[in-house]
Structure 1
Amino acid sequence: MIQFINVSKEYKNGAKALSNVNLSIKKGEFVFLVGPSGAGKSTIIKLILKEEDPTEGKIYLGDTDITKVKNRKIPYIRRKVGVVFQDFRLLPNKTVYENIAFAMEIVGAHPKEIRRNVPMVLSMVDLSRKAYCYPDELSGGEHQRVAIARAIVNSPPILIADEPTGNLDPETAWGIMEVLRDINRRGTTVLMATHAKDIVDVMKKRVIAIESGKIVRDEEKGVYEHEISHI
């Protein structure tokens, strides 16, 4: 589903963001990407979204080597990936329904398909009653649920969540994690970058830890970090 083969990324100023990264994420997995700020998590996400190109190596989404994709085909590659950001990025002058429908409109979906899919995803994120509210009438947790609904309304096989609980209180954050877990159970591959140690430790999903641009740990049912024993 997602594969990095000997991927390195060096910026023009000489900063090395990634160094010889190899990883493979299978269809239907739920993976946490953890590590300190500046470790390379955001670079991995940008490479998957084709916002950046690697200096070396290959990246596959499914059977497609996206490092060789021409610019005109990038929008089609991005349709395979739904993205949820920490800062929501909702359109303030559109209702909840319209924000989600807009994600379908820009890919040319038929109005009948929009009328079918938008209520369905609103129900999935438990926001049917808020369909005709505007973003300034919503709580932070509701903002994030709208952002998730917008990310999945076109049924992408992959969902990337970049610090989706970073601005939320603990109870609201767990509500968001339940939504993401439900989406994953329906077959969507989920990659979540996070600093939320408590969430990672409780959920017991695969954990890929990155430090200084290198993968230092990759564990099934992992934890955020291992305690360092002092002898």
Structure 2
Amino acid sequence: MIKFVDITKEYKNGVIALSKVNLSIAKGEFVFLVGPSGAGKSTLIKLLLKEENPTHGRIYLHNTDITKVKNRKIPFIRRNVGVVFQDFRLLPNKTVYENIAFAMEIIGAHPKDIRRNIPMVLSMVNLSKKAYNYPNQLSGGEHQRVAIARAIVNSPPVLIADEPTGNLDPETAWDIMKVLRDINRRGTTVLMATHAKDIVDVMKKRVIEIEKGEIVRDEEKGVYEHEISNT
């Protein structure tokens, strides 16, 4: 599903954001990406979205090498990856329905498919009654639910969630995690970058820790931090 092979990313100023990263994520996995700010998490995500290109190495998505694809093919790659951001990025002058519809319209979806798919994803994120509200009429948690619905409406096999609970109170954050868990259970691969220690520790999913551009831990049913033995 996702594979990084000897990936190094060095910027023009000499900063090495990632160094010889090797990583494989299988179809249907739920993976937490953790580490301090500046560790390389955002760079890894940008490489997967083709917002950046690696200095060395190869990246595979669905067994396709996306490392050196032509620019005209990048939109087709991104159709396979839904993204949820910390700051929601909703269009303020569009309703919930229109925000989600826009994600389908830009890939040329048929109006019939739009009318069919949007009620389904709104139901999945428990926002059916908010379809014609505007963003300024929604709570923070509802903003994020719309963002998730928008990210999954085109049925991407991979969902990247970049600090999706960072601006939410703890109770709302858990509501969002339940939505992401349900999406994962339907077969979508989820990669979530987070600093939310409590969420990672409770959910016991695979944890990949990055520090100074290197993977320092890859643990099944992991926790946010290494457990230190007293013996």
CA shift digits 1:160-207 (9 cap, x unpaired): 000000000000000000000000000000000000000000000000
Unpaired runs of at least 5, structure 1: none
Cα deviation for residue 223 of structure 1 reads 0.3
Alignment map for 1:163-182 (pairs within 5 Å): 163-182=163-182
The answer to whether the aligner puts 1:131 opposite 2:116 as a matched pair is: no
CA shift digits 1:112-156 (9 cap, x unpaired): 000000000000000000000000000000000000000000000
- 2:21 and 2:226 mapped to 1: Cα distance? 21
In the alignment, residue 203 of structure 2 is paired with which amino acid? M
C-alpha root-mean-square deviation of aligned residues, in Å?
A: 0.9
- 1:216 and 1:11 mapped to 2: Cα distance? 21
- 2:229 and 2:205 mapped to 1: Cα distance? 24
Q: Secondary structure at the match of 1:148?
A: helix
In the alignment, residue 90 of structure 1 is paired with which amino acid? L
Provide runs of 4+ in structure 1 moved above 2 Å.
227-231
Given the two structures, how large is their TM-score scaled by the length of structure 2? 0.99
> Which residue of the partner structure matches residue 15 of structure 2?
15
- 2:68 and 2:23 mapped to 1: Cα distance? 19
Cα deviation for residue 230 of structure 1 reads 7.0
> Which residue of the partner structure matches residue 91 of structure 1?
91
> Which residue of the partner structure matches residue 73 of structure 2?
73
- 1:96 and 1:218 mapped to 2: Cα distance? 38
- 1:229 and 1:56 mapped to 2: Cα distance? 37
State the percentage of identical aligned residues: 85
In the alignment, residue 85 of structure 1 is paired with which amino acid? F
> Which residue of the partner structure matches residue 120 of structure 2?
120
- Deviating more after overlay: 122-131 vs 60-69: 60-69
- 1:101 and 1:15 mapped to 2: Cα distance? 40
Q: Secondary structure at the match of 1:23?
A: strand
In the alignment, residue 151 of structure 1 is paired with which amino acid? A
Given the two structures, how large is their TM-score scaled by the length of structure 1? 0.99
- 1:7 and 1:137 mapped to 2: Cα distance? 43
- 1:210 and 1:226 mapped to 2: Cα distance? 13
> Which residue of the partner structure matches residue 189 of structure 1?
189
- 1:183 and 1:224 mapped to 2: Cα distance? 22
In the alignment, residue 166 of structure 1 is paired with which amino acid? G
Unpaired runs of at least 5, structure 2: none
> Which residue of the partner structure matches residue 150 of structure 1?
150
Cα deviation for residue 228 of structure 1 reads 3.8
In the alignment, residue 81 of structure 1 is paired with which amino acid? V
Q: Number of paired residues?
A: 231
- 1:2 and 1:205 mapped to 2: Cα distance? 17
Cα deviation for residue 63 of structure 1 reads 1.4
- 2:201 and 2:228 mapped to 1: Cα distance? 16
Query: Relative to 1, partners in 2 of residues 1:107 and 1:25: Cα closer, same or farther, differing over 3 Å?
Result: same
